[in-house]
Amino acid sequence: PKSPASHPGPAEWELPRDPEEEGRSLLQNCSDHGLQTTMRPVPRVFQASWPSATARIMHYVRPGIDAWVVVGILVLCMLTSPAGDKDHPAWRLVRNNTFLFVWVPFWYRFCTGFIHFLLSLAILPSPVIYHEGPLLKYFPQWVLDMCHESFVLRQKNRPRLAAAGGITLQLTAPDGCVIDALYFRGANAALDGPTVIRFNGNAEAIELQDDILPRIYSTSGINFIMFNYRGVARSKFHAVWNSELLGHLLGLNRTPTKQGLVLDAWTVTEYALEELRVPCSKLVLVGHSIG
């Protein structure tokens, strides 16, 4: 727009450049792979340990409670049947304490398992809308139609991230879930140098990120890691008896969504601390939304 006649300055004001175009012009001459060959290679596979004894115990307690509830319900059915001796002390103990022995464990698992899972579908929808696992063939058609566009976009963007220097990592969580991650090495940066880990929002996938984001870090000499939560795209539960479906269902049963999210975050963080040996003073955790 023309400036007022009374205002000193140029007659024509320059319009600001498009930020994305300016960012690309700044990065187009930067090399993504100008690394010294003597540097330590990036470890691509990692097995995380349990963050605490409590987390490890609860991994086995949850299915144990499920088995307890099933057995308790079967016992109740036997108590209500006319057959059998109901005067045995063990039967009387169960009959007089049904609420404690059966219904308390049942409602605990019902709320922390099934209800928790239903709520997680709204709070963390990415394992559904970006799912590429065994449950995909059971999705209704309207869900598949809704997810088709994002699937095509993810398939298109993944090579762009690889071209930007992304190295695929397979990080196994303590409960066996394999986390898909991408590692971008900073220009002339050591593995134990400054490192940023990005935690996605509730409806994000790493394939939907623009390749400029990791380039900004890598060209500044900063290592950058981003990953998908379990159930999102290539992050999948470990197969059980060569069945991905069984492994997925058992994984959902053993590890509620909230605890699974924490284990995913712990796995990637431990990878940086233990495998890459990044000191805490050089590790930055960046979270977006639920991340």
Least confidently predicted of 28-32, 64-68, 180-184, 223-227: 28-32
Domain boundary residue, one of 124, 145, 178:
124
> 172 and 99: one domain?
no
Domain boundary residue, one of 64, 94, 124:
124
Asked whether residue 31 is domain-assigned, the answer is: no
pLDDT at 14: 42
CATH number, domain containing residue 205? 3.40.50
pLDDT at 271: 97
Domain carrying residue 238: 41-50+127-287
What is the tens place of the pLDDT at every residue in 133-159? 888 888 888 888 888 888 888 889 999
Taking 70 as the threshold, does the pLDDT of residue 124 lie above it?
Answer: yes
Domain boundary residue, one of 91, 124, 157:
124
Asked whether residue 179 is domain-assigned, the answer is: yes
> 224 and 96: one domain?
no
Please name the residue that has the structure tokens 């115990």.
Answer: 57
> 206 and 229: one domain?
yes
Asked whether residue 22 is domain-assigned, the answer is: no
> 45 and 85: one domain?
no
Task: Report how many domains make up the chain.
Answer: 2
Tell me the DSSP string of 82-148.
SSS---SHHHHHHHHTHIIIIIHHHHHHIIIIIIHHHHHHHH--HHHHTB-SGGGGGS-HHHHHHHH
What is the tens place of the pLDDT at every residue in 15-24? 444 444 544 5
Cα gap 263→65, rounded to integer Å = 21
